[in-house]
Structure 1
Amino acid sequence: MNYEWLGGYFLQKAGVVKDYQPEWEATRYFVGGKMFAMQGGDKDGKPIFTIKLEPSLGDFLRKQYPGAVVPGYYMNKVHWNSLYLEGAIPEETVREMADWAYEAGLRALPKKKRSEIENGKE
């Protein structure tokens, strides 16, 4: 599996926590109680990272990397995108996708909660 650094990259960000969902065999990443990413597998067991992105950005990336970025596996197909972890996407792009997903999670929070996270008070 490529992008093994991705889970650690998320955990370096302010306010991020992870848990493991045994029923889904997936590790989930949250900021302020809002999930923004999940690492697991597809129906064939291929490793994927599913992340929340703005719909237009997700659509662009699906067209840019067909087969490597697909509509969110078992998630809302508009806001969630699954990234196959076999290395078809440049690492810099994956890092940007991770940053955008984290920002999407932050933007979903109330202003007070977001401010507490951004200022290191949580």
Structure 2
Amino acid sequence: MPYPWLDEYLLSKMDVTKDYKEEWSATRYFVGGKMFAMQGGDKTGKPVFTMKLEPMYGDFLRRTHPDIVPGYHMNKVHWNSLYLDGVVPDDVVREMADQSYQIVLQALSRKIQKEIIG
């Protein structure tokens, strides 16, 4: 996998937890109990990492990088899948992870945000 740092990077963010959903064969990442990223496979088993992005940014990335596609088994407007055998630069993947975390964090209630951020 060309992004061996990604799991540790996501887990370093405040209040992030992960689990493994056996039925989906996927590792899921949560903030405040809401999923913001998932590592699994597409219909052929090819490994993908799926993250929630602002629609315009996701569309831009899909047009710019062939290894980023609409989210596999997710809402195609808000979720984007990154093929893990692709060649997307680390800084782009890091920005995707940061944005996904922030989108979900900001959608949580102010009370939960305060508990997480302090």
Letter in 2 for 1:39: Q
The CA distance in 1 between the partners of 2:107 and 2:78, in whole Å, is: 12
Given that residues 36 and 105 in structure 1 are in contact (C-alpha distance below 8 angstroms), is that contact kept between their aligned partners in structure 2?
yes
Q: Any idea what the Cα deviations from partners look like across 1:54-102, whole Å, max 9, x if unmatched?
A: 1111111101102x00000000001100000114100111011110011
2:82 aligned counterpart, secondary structure:
strand
**1:1-122 alignment to 2 at 5 Å?**
1-66=1-66, 68-119=67-118
Which has more helix, going by share of residues? 2
Aligned residue pairs total 118
Partners in 1 of 2:63 and 2:92 — Cα distance?
A: 14
CA distance in 2, matches of 1:99, 1:81: 14
The percent of aligned pairs where both chains have the same amino acid is 64
SS in 2 for 1:23: helix
Question: Where in structure 1 do 4 or more consecutive aligned residues deviate above 3 Å?
Answer: none
Residue type at the aligned position of 2:99: W
Q: Deviations over 1:31-55 (max 9, x none)?
A: 0011000000111111100000111
Matched position secondary structure for 1:58: helix
* Superposition TM-score, scaled by structure 1 size: 0.93
The unaligned stretches of length 5 or more in structure 2 are none
AA in 1 matched with 2:110: K
Name the SS for the 2:23 alignment partner: coil
Residue identity opposite 2:81 in structure 1 = S
